[in-house]
Amino acid sequence: MSQTVEMPEVARGETILRVHNLKKSYDKLEVLRDIDLDIKKGEVICVLGPSGSGKSTMLRCLNLLELPTGGTIELKGDVVFEGDKPKNLDDLRRETGMVFQSFNLFPNMTAKGNVSIAQIRVRGRKKDDADQRSIDELTKVGLAEKVDEYPDRLSGGQQQRVAIARALAMDPEIMLFDEVTSALDPELVKGVLDVMRELADSGMTMICVTHEIGFAREVADRVIFMDGGYIVEQGPPAEVLGDPKEERTQKFLGLVLDH
């Protein structure tokens, strides 16, 4: 674990993450072709698109869970990825938090343990401090009475909220959400979306790959539509969702909105 290099502070509204010419191929299959993205601090971005469009891959490239095959990523002005090599993996991972479709809670720990483990091992916090922070975060997502339960005793929605708390406890600058409600029973989706809404209101920079159009319309500052590895269209939700300019966007929304 490298020493904490103090990264420059970024003011709200300034660019915090910049992606340029990002590409990703698996052998011959090009999944991402030339993505340019400029994310501002405090922005809430929702990424929509059909399956296979590359939206999840792009998200996973942002914290280098996937290694792009070309392009650059700059975090707070410092290059963290260039060409095909990560230049500063630790800082990037420290500043980003990710929540997954399949929750990925650690089954051998309680909810509190899940939220504390990385605080202790990665951030170096003392156990008592970490546990107290964990209880606070779990309370914020409405799970105060579940802190000592193991994941197998929690519903899907509760597990996902623990996952969100777990990522937030690390004080990331940017939160990445990868279709986090797609695996939930419908009646549990609202609970998770409410937590995300509150998070957005509190000023967190968020990038959400999602199918929840309603959420995108109400909460997003910017909606991005992707298809075939490209960003086809992006802009405020009223524009992209209400009056899409590209034919592909229109087709997709026509397919999706009627439900």
Partner 1 sequence: MGDFFDIFFNFQFMADHFDVVFQGFLVTLKLSAVGGALALVWGLILAVLRQVPGKWLAPVRWLVIAYIDCLRGLPLLLVIMLLYSGLATLATQGLIPRDIGIPQWFGQPDPFWYGVMALTLTYGAYMAEVYRAGIEAVPRGQTEAARSLGMSHGQAMRFIIVPQAVRKVIPPLLNDFIALMKDTALVSVIGLVEAVQAGRDLYSEFYNPSGFTLGAFMFLIVTIPLARFVDRLIKNQNEKFQRGLP
Under rule CB under 8 A, residue 248 binds partner 1:
no
> Is 138 in contact with 144 (CB distance < 8 Å)?
yes
Q: Which is nearer to partner 1, 170 or 226 (CB)?
A: 170
Under rule CB under 8 A, residue 125 binds partner 1:
no
Q: Which is nearer to partner 1, 145 or 152 (CB)?
A: 152
Report the C-alpha gap between 123 and 97 in whole angstroms. Answer: 13
Number of H helices, E strands in the chain: 9, 11
Binding part of the chain for partner 1, among 10-18, 117-125, 197-205, 235-243 by CB under 8 A, reads 117-125
> Is 195 in contact with 163 (CB distance < 8 Å)?
no
| Binder among 5, 67, 122, 238 for partner 1 (CB under 8 A) | 122
Q: What is the closest distance, in whole angstroms, from the C-beta atom of residue 136 to partner 1 in the complex?
A: 18
Under rule CB under 8 A, residue 97 binds partner 1:
yes
Q: Which is nearer to partner 1, 118 or 224 (CB)?
A: 118
Under rule CB under 8 A, residue 158 binds partner 1:
no
From 243, 232, 188, select the one nearest 212 (Cα to Cα).
Answer: 188
Our CA angle for 241, 196, 246, nearest 5°, is 15
> Cα Rg for the chain, rounded, in angstroms?
18
* Total of residues contacting partner 1 (CB under 8 A): 27
- CA distances to 76, 187, 194, 205 from 64, rounded to whole Å, are 16, 33, 28, 18
Our CA angle for 12, 18, 24, nearest 5°, is 145
Under rule CB under 8 A, residue 183 binds partner 1:
no
Under rule CB under 8 A, residue 61 binds partner 1:
no
Under rule CB under 8 A, residue 79 binds partner 1:
no
| Binder among 40, 55, 146, 166 for partner 1 (CB under 8 A) | 166
Residues in the site for partner 1, rule: CB under 8 A?
A: 1, 63, 65, 90, 93-94, 96-98, 100, 102, 104-108, 117-118, 121-123, 151-152, 163, 166-167, 170
